Structure 1
């Protein structure tokens, strides 16, 4: 479910008692915030203009005492060595807590004097695949942001030839680690011939990792102080909205609430990953100017350069290696759910860049992947976190949704209107209007009657269509004893909800008003979740898949907020989008509704609407989304180090960090896992509820490393802006790296109003991303693709290409689930030795063979792009099969030329090119649904290389079940022959024959064509010399056997 634009409802403050120390499991004092339960509370928050998340609260300190304290704080802030103490609510208060509680001597707020650790040589124990040893604090405790842990264990394991595992953890094993019952350890090998080598210095302990094949090259990870820039480094601009970056030292720090490790990087190297984020720098992260990527799951409407819905502390680096005269890739994954800042920086007056991890708990559990190419790194990462689930074939169809379909009749109208416009519709979705009183697992008895819902969904299935409803990560609190709501009462019986520190049930506020949240660690939570879903189906909601939303998790109030006088509210006090006081008035850049009206049409009264009355493109919309209350009613634990959470305090608009989970775990530890564990529970429940062997289909907003094993993802609440059309590409590419390949953005944009031109271009682009859905906000103008004739035409055309390519899509995702190979790819994934491609994120590839160059700006009829391969690859137009014309631009970056192409792209057309050397199995007649398309005969498109060769494979199975029966078809063209082979597990019969074969790149008309030595009648083939194309039709080739086609 989308982020909702809320009306600010600020609660009043209360008098604050003194801060006290309370030992945690490690015996270290921690700062608590709140006003009850024996803890201390937040100091006054200071709101300063210009910072999001700032907010006012009342306080009752005496004027003189307050003035003196503010003066002290100001002086300390000006001299603080780290940028942790920002003029932002919650960050200053953390420093105040430390001073008021007498912590100034205990917590230095600086790592400058931290001694690091020393390896005890007597503790070293080697084994076949690595070693373990003890690390001891090398000097007096510095206690920068917590209590230094004196004794650590380092465990180094060469797990496979391409993977090195370095795990540094507290010897007493009290620090939080990923729950083993939910995260399977990766498989390891014995006696491996490892690509990577860990080297170390004993005191102070530091390590660096090199390639065994090239030990003289720069290490891929290097924590030695001599390799890093000299510290302290004065404050310098970080290149984002945060003020300055300061580094006062690079020791290894391991405290109960703060861990730090730093590695040197080549200057301005190429880094990808570290998300989820909408990065202003694009898919390539900004190392030169600085990047702070915070790992803290947050419901935020896709702001630039801030933490949003998911946490993925993994990156791929692609660097030039002079000793091999080539580019090589490697990857690094921090296996930790703890909140963190991961910082990329290039300090001024330094020829060195660096990456620094600042983590507020857990351990330093690091995996290194040797690559050496981008695809290999991504595959190696998948072996650790889990390979993606394989979606059913119908998931690749077009999905339609809106927040605002107020009734079943209105939902039916969309299905009928799409059919009338002949725009393929595969899956119909409903947002929260489906519910009764906003309560999950219900249907509104008036607007979505149960029997009518059941009939509607079954009718969809009869027409080879599917249904997906929304499900949230909470349950409504019942109002009284007569209030019947089984998900709550059953959850209380089974003890599955998150608790407060005093063991009372934790209460937040979301759409149904007061809510409780499932504890995904609770022993009975899987039973509760399955029962709730099963009971929902009895109300007519016979879902095909599930849409998991608000699972960061989101709350509309800050902290535990129980009902006043014991009376729960039944809905939040907010103004919905589209209602008076919250009208949706924004339009895409270049469209002025005041001049052209609200329609969004390309032309009004014969005049173009683009730029009407505007001189420049609009800026991104402001997003002032505040919680309903800012008064904490229970103690809130906030680590002294303040990660750069966009809202400031970690407990804002989510479950408070001191809430407790089964086994004594806190929300501070579990927060980033909520969406992941919800996805896992939903996946397992759907497997039990649906017919045996059927593949689940889930789309979740919040994700964590490895969530692709259970779910897909959509990119959240984007905006109907041209800039977000562009940003959608980097978002999908990020999640290919994260091993969550079934991903896409809301086509035409979610927030604000779209317009005809933007929606036209976006529907075309979205048709070439894995998850293809149109969805928008309540109160905006309708944006279903039938609303404008030009958008309807563009959608039909792009969807026809998508459905023709379904066998290709399906094979790409089969390979993702088997090997972790990314289906959608940045250009340099395929051409890693071409530096001009390293920052390209306005084009992308599907697999190895399809190049997409979308239009991303308004009011244009052509688009330019790069042709990878530097002239060694022939690129042919998908639609005409003509060779793409090209020009040479001397911008290769390594003294070689870049090949550039200018492509016609009138409104309604998206340029798509096919790579030479490709052999693509297609559906010959794309239908209205994926099943209708799959029922038609196959076609084969062969694009020969300069040498006359082509190769391709296609995996074919039933498209629905997790069966071992499949058949892999192999197409191999060479020496004027095309050989069709097959292999497979079990016995899967390919029913549809191969009817059409198109071969591109034949320079002269053949005299004869044969299939298995038998001459093909001339009426069944035609040659077009203009595009060097041979087309054979009416063939009925059986794909269950071997066939050879020859020409000459």
Structure 2
């Protein structure tokens, strides 16, 4: 919910060049209808900086730095250690060179190799400069003390001309990572290392970013969590320094010889792929430079803490990464998979009730209603507006929706209002209680750091101090959540602004709290004079020009993300040089390509200090991670037996243990609907299965066609929410009749698939498998799928091929695996897809209101009857769809529990297996489900059926056979399963003539 602040950044940069230097406050009238002070436009303008990658005066470290020499190499259990010594005097280019380093190489598991390089001498005073505490982010250790010989990874090193190393896959001889040909640079504020890459490489990951799934070979990926909105190719909310490298080889000859295939155009050839992962456990601000033939990592601190995952498939890398480094995602409550409705701009409880009533009126399922910052008392956490959102009326509203098995979730921001000391009526107990616990970040001089966000001048919870028991931040946070729940019975929490955001540079409120509350320096959406995107994209233009319009919009935003090269005015930029014995905290000598420029712009300043002495410079990207941690445990304190439901914006590797993520402040543009797919798939790689985006777009105005297509697409994302900004037109699905129809069609499929989706998510939770999948992952031997990100798989069985172009009535799609025998069936008519060849881009009918969905042969998919809420759906009868593969077989599973318990008292797993003549369901576990099995559909049969038996009893009526489509439909099974469908083994069989 960055609230269109990217426009503010551009205006601020222009303001600096115009010489706007005054910090004097001005006045205006805001939406609270009283005169308040407004932050001046230049409050959020930092010093002018230019990213080193764009700076014509920047020096390439490889041209002046000399690297290190290895010595005292020692074989130790599971690896080696060595000393690395700086060659010569070093370069001290973007920091002070660290002269002595330690190398540690560990084979931690058969599929995981650890390579770490860190300073040999680290004192208590500078430990945070380099060492990421294990208490904060657990450090993977050795799982198998006898794994060295088992590993397919081999480590080697050389001192010619300086220290370098290789990681090789032994089975293929392929070099996965090599620093040969480049010097290691290790300074107190700058680290550089890298590897060459093969031709036409396929890399994925390195987020968070709005980009295609496959990363290009001419881009810079900046890792600095920022509140900037969903700007294409800019650094946004998350920090995930891991990439997946997939390499395709052509298989030829009797010996099955592998030949690297950078351009696999021969679809009749046989291919094999290998995927490995590279994770750099470093939370400092970073850049990753992808060039035509190499990757270069640059970090502003920390260590080189690399973990190489052997794979050789994406699935194995993802599972190993989660098990070893970041943890498995939490299981979600069943109701969270329903449809969620929100907007910034719901004015009061009555309007919320009207929205709920409208969903009911138009018979559109609604599971959860959310409120954005409108409900707050002057935008203050844990306090409601007493006029528009009074507690008594709220309690009645929430009680009513709870009685209907619906839910309520409020937003909680990451900064805390500090009351005006000169205004006795401005008291804010949440702040007072936090101050008593020393809960807030400090300035270097020990005073409280005071920035500014929505309510005015604000303070920031010090999660780092809490981690090391220097503050009571976590205890205070848990208490505030509990106290608020006594007034408003929310069902989960939405964490926002957690990058962490500030609307001014530095501790701008330190001497200005007597001005509180203050208005941001920019107009909020919906305020007079702030009209953005009055017309939906493509309004009054032809379909032929729409694609160009979307492309131009995307290009303009991407261009805005990076200042133009300005060698003629390069002297105007602020640059620093290394200071011996110290670090330049606010303006490090190396300038990363941060969208906002100066690291202190629209963010808490790097010199903000935590209790215990560490600085924000070293832990900026951790704030969002720790507020999710604190919120998760606060909800556990509140509901000890229930699974917490949290959706957060800023996150770090490992945040997926506690929360889901939504894609942030996107736009009501066709291009952003497309980008939601690669963003979701990237988050599958990062270990976040509970992911979704603001359906129909957050900023700007959607129209009927865009919202129809988007409501259908998002129906197949685990987190499904419609949300838009204040000032835009309403976009609830009932606003347009065509969107009502489209939404109902997609929601009917989604709710029918609820048991399948829940089971798939359970596997993500328990094993680390992905819920949303790229086609290339499940079909790793088809190189033409490497860049396929306009389709996706939901679990193993469901293929979604959405229409992503305005005005289109057809869509192009691939049917992966058909060249090797995979069978696909149309969800709607159950017919097999025929006449398709490997890699063929097929034209599929997709009239407005229809989203093409297909089921993969070989799967038994459990279904239930879709209802208006998840609770009612869960009480409905069961169905099975058995889609036979080319060999006449299918299998699947169903996970059952109570849908909410953190540790369920009872669970059941049902194994399904089908052949051309039978279907068997074998349950194991102790969860009792009394819903009956109503229907079974078998598709892909070889011939007409002439008799059916269920549990040994002849089914004389209630079944039909469509001989043309080879579909057997069996109804009326409820009479045979009154004791519950899955409380004992079930056997269904049929016979041919």
SS class of match (1:699): strand
Partner residue in 2 for 1:260: 192
- Quote the RMSD (CA, aligned, Å): 2.7
Partner residue in 2 for 1:275: 207
1:542 aligns with 2:489: yes
Shift of 1:186: 3.2
Partner residue in 2 for 1:971: 912
**CA spacing shift, 1:197–1:10, aligned 2, 3 Å:** closer
1:1028 aligns with 2:955: no
Decide which of 337, 340, 344 is 2:283's aligned counterpart: 337
**Cα deviation digits, residues 10-38 of structure 1 (max 9, x gap):** 999xxxxxxxxxxxxxxxxxxxxxxxxxx
Contact 1:590/1:611 (<8 A) preserved = no
Decide which of 644, 647, 672 is 1:724's aligned counterpart: 672
SS class of match (2:882): strand
Partner residue in 1 for 2:598: 649
1:558 aligns with 2:505: yes
Q: Which runs of 5+ in 1 are unaligned?
A: 13-46, 61-87, 100-106, 226-249, 347-352, 596-608, 889-896
SS class of match (1:526): helix
Contact 1:591/1:611 (<8 A) preserved = no
SS class of match (2:626): helix
Partner residue in 1 for 2:609: 660
Contact 1:519/1:661 (<8 A) preserved = yes
SS class of match (2:383): coil
Shift of 1:461: 1.2
1:1010 aligns with 2:949: yes
1:899 aligns with 2:840: yes
**Cα deviation digits, residues 759-794 of structure 1 (max 9, x gap):** 000000010111100000101110000000110111
Partner residue in 2 for 1:317: 245
Shift of 1:584: 2.8
SS class of match (2:64): coil
Contact 2:70/2:82 (<8 A) preserved = yes
> How many angstroms apart in 1 are the aligned matches of 2:318 and 2:16?
39
**Cα deviation digits, residues 801-823 of structure 1 (max 9, x gap):** 00111111111111111111010
Partner residue in 1 for 2:85: 136
More deviation, 425-434/808-817: 808-817
- Number of residue equivalences: 903
**CA spacing shift, 1:876–1:679, aligned 2, 3 Å:** same
Partner residue in 2 for 1:444: 385
Contact 1:920/1:941 (<8 A) preserved = yes
Q: Which runs of 5+ in 2 are unaligned?
A: 23-45, 251-256, 260-271, 467-471, 563-572, 575-582
Partner residue in 1 for 2:225: 297
Shift of 1:108: 7.2
**CA spacing shift, 1:835–1:611, aligned 2, 3 Å:** closer
Decide which of 357, 361, 365 is 2:301's aligned counterpart: 361
**Cα deviation digits, residues 693-713 of structure 1 (max 9, x gap):** 200111111111111111101
1:879 aligns with 2:835: no
For residues 569-718 of structure 1, the aligned pairs below 5 Å read 569-573=516-520, 574-592=522-540, 619-620=552-553, 637-690=586-639, 692-718=640-666
SS class of match (1:685): helix
More deviation, 421-430/576-585: 576-585
**Cα deviation digits, residues 129-178 of structure 1 (max 9, x gap):** 11222211122221111111111111111111111111111112333332
Partner residue in 1 for 2:800: 852
Decide which of 806, 812, 818 is 1:864's aligned counterpart: 812
More deviation, 384-393/508-517: 384-393
Partner residue in 1 for 2:145: 190
Shift of 1:284: 0.5
If each structure's helix is expressed as a fraction of its own residues, which one has the higher value?
2
SS class of match (1:840): coil
Shift of 1:414: 0.4
**CA spacing shift, 1:856–1:478, aligned 2, 3 Å:** same
Contact 1:853/1:910 (<8 A) preserved = yes
For residues 501-520 of structure 1, the aligned pairs below 5 Å read 501-520=444-463
**Cα deviation digits, residues 706-748 of structure 1 (max 9, x gap):** 1111110110111101111111111111100010111111111
1:399 aligns with 2:340: yes
**Cα deviation digits, residues 975-996 of structure 1 (max 9, x gap):** 5121211234xx2122223221
Contact 2:858/2:885 (<8 A) preserved = yes
> How many angstroms apart in 1 are the aligned matches of 2:145 and 2:9?
59
**Cα deviation digits, residues 210-235 of structure 1 (max 9, x gap):** 12323xx221111111xxxxxxxxxx
For residues 224-235 of structure 1, the aligned pairs below 5 Å read 224-225=180-181
Contact 1:108/1:142 (<8 A) preserved = no
Shift of 1:190: 2.1
Partner residue in 1 for 2:353: 412
> How many angstroms apart in 1 are the aligned matches of 2:941 and 2:11?
74
**CA spacing shift, 1:611–1:580, aligned 2, 3 Å:** farther
Partner residue in 1 for 2:743: 795
1:755 aligns with 2:703: yes
> How many angstroms apart in 1 are the aligned matches of 2:665 and 2:604?
21
> How many angstroms apart in 1 are the aligned matches of 2:537 and 2:512?
48
**CA spacing shift, 1:991–1:176, aligned 2, 3 Å:** farther
**Cα deviation digits, residues 426-445 of structure 1 (max 9, x gap):** 01000101001111110011
1:110 aligns with 2:38: no
Partner residue in 1 for 2:183: 251
Partner residue in 2 for 1:221: 177
Shift of 1:681: 0.5
TM-score normalised according to structure 2 size: 0.87
TM-score normalised according to structure 1 size: 0.83
SS class of match (1:311): strand
Partner residue in 1 for 2:888: 948
Partner residue in 1 for 2:578: none
SS class of match (1:969): strand
> How many angstroms apart in 2 are the aligned matches of 1:134 and 1:742?
43
Decide which of 770, 780, 787 is 1:839's aligned counterpart: 787
**CA spacing shift, 1:1004–1:969, aligned 2, 3 Å:** same
